[in-house]
Amino acid sequence: MRLSDDQLARYHKDGVLVLPGLFSAEEVEVLRRPLARLFAEDVPENFREMVSGEVRTAMGLHLRDETYARVSRHPRLVEPAWQILNDQRLYIQQTKVNAKIAFTGEVWQWHYDFATHHNEDGVPEPLALNLYILLDEVSEFNGPLWFIRGSHTARDVPAALDTGTTSYPLWCVDRASVARLAAEGDILSARGLPGTALIFGDRMVHGSPPNMSPWHRRIYSLILNPVANALTKQTRSEHQHHRDLTPVTPLADDCLLEAVG
């Protein structure tokens, strides 16, 4: 799959690309089926909310489930990443499902991922790409991702590690910086039907509000990073930044439906 010139221009201008309907309802259903089992596992890869104990993020999924091993090599994700980065030697840095369970999903503070990847993992440059699939309908009510358009072009945005207000340690951006960046651009609320995909880079400032609604919000996340830009430190757990630098090879386009016969 190749992105159009217009899609590439929008990605480079805004810092985030929304692709409605990239995956079918049948493919999304295949991705949803293992979640109850995976979320029920009492393993370090499952980070839970501080108050409710519900899963906040379930990591390392391509090593825990065959369906997620397949989608992590899906050509509709891998090939656009090749195109954007002009590099076909990309490794799977991280896979997860971020969940905001109905009524209990907590906030993800304003942050950009390179602060974590650089400070914790020693990744040299902000080249890693986030490739997301919405597994539920995401509306203004159930904790959509918010992106500050154009924030990917900002340099030296201060970030500090927060280990107190979140169950998942996060390098957060201060309020003054968020206000400045939002005044220069605006905020995109990434809403859509299941199967919508999102692509954004390592410098993109984003966050999400809590989910007070009666509807779940679950999003699959794949991070691909050039092998030439790999981690230089191994301070975090392997499921937070995988050590296997084998370049990812795309499967067939029907790999998810093939998995269920």
Cα dihedral 38, 39, 40, 44 sign: positive
Q: Domain limits of the chain?
A: 5-258
**What is the reported pLDDT for 260?**
58
Predicted confidence (pLDDT) per residue in 42-88, tens digit: 999 999 999 999 999 999 999 999 999 999 999 999 999 999 999 99
Q: Which amino acid is at 127?
A: L
Task: Please name the CATH architecture into which domain 5-258 falls.
Answer: Sandwich (2.60)
Structure tokens at 103: 């009524």
**What is the reported pLDDT for 163?**
86
**What is the reported pLDDT for 259?**
59
DSSP string of 133-185, one letter each residue = EESS-B-SSS--EEEETTGGG--S--EEEE-SS-SS-EEEEPHHHHHHHHHHS
**What is the reported pLDDT for 125?**
98
CB 147 within 8 Å of CB 15: yes
Select from 91, 53, 42, 99 the least CA-distant residue to 221: 99
Per the DSSP assignment, residues forming a β-bridge with 24 are: none
Give the chain's mean pLDDT.
96
Predicted confidence (pLDDT) per residue in 83-116, tens digit: 999 999 999 999 999 999 999 999 999 999 999 9
Tell me the three state secondary structure of residue 150. coil
Q: What is the pLDDT along the chain (261 residues), one digit of tens a residue?
A: 999 999 999 999 999 999 999 999 999 999 999 999 999 999 999 999 999 999 999 999 999 999 999 999 999 999 999 999 999 999 999 999 999 999 999 999 999 999 999 999 999 999 999 999 999 999 999 999 999 999 999 988 999 999 888 788 899 999 999 999 999 999 999 999 999 999 999 999 999 999 999 999 999 999 999 999 999 999 999 999 999 999 999 999 999 998 554
Tell me the three state secondary structure of residue 16. strand
Q: Which amino acid is at 226?
A: P
